[in-house]
Amino acid sequence: MAGQEKLPFEEADELELDEEYEELRRELRSRLEGFADEHDLPEGVLAALLLEMALMSRTLDYLGSVEKPSGSGLRLELDRFRRDIDEVMRAAKKGADALIAEAKQAMAEDEAKAAAEADTAVEKKRK
């Protein structure tokens, strides 16, 4: 219902699911980074492979979840999948400026840290 507040246990369940989702996401990202490093894959190629895998996973999910799969049913499912992707893309676009600002700040901090470490190494050599 519109405007209905969530009950405390519903919020707790949602939070737990969010935390579990984030944990799975971190683990998958770690494994994907290892895979990409092992095969010397650029991020763009990895993204294309993952998109293809996501499409195949959604297709297999449809095939396993309906009694009588059909071409029209699969097309509807893929339309739903496209809407899900579009929603994720809209959210990513909204957060683009903040992400770039955070990345620039992190890179600047890394550069400052590297410079400080280099200065420390030079000072140690002088002594």
Name the pLDDT band for 123 (thresholds 50, 70, 90): confident
pLDDT, greater one: 114 or 34: 34
* Residue 5, pLDDT score: 53
Closest to 77 (Cα-Cα) out of 53, 54, 61, 89: 61
Q: Which residue has the tokens 């899900």?
A: 84
Please state whether the predicted TM-score (pTM) of the whole model is above 0.75: no
Q: Is the pLDDT of residue 32 over 60?
A: yes
* Residue 11, pLDDT score: 55
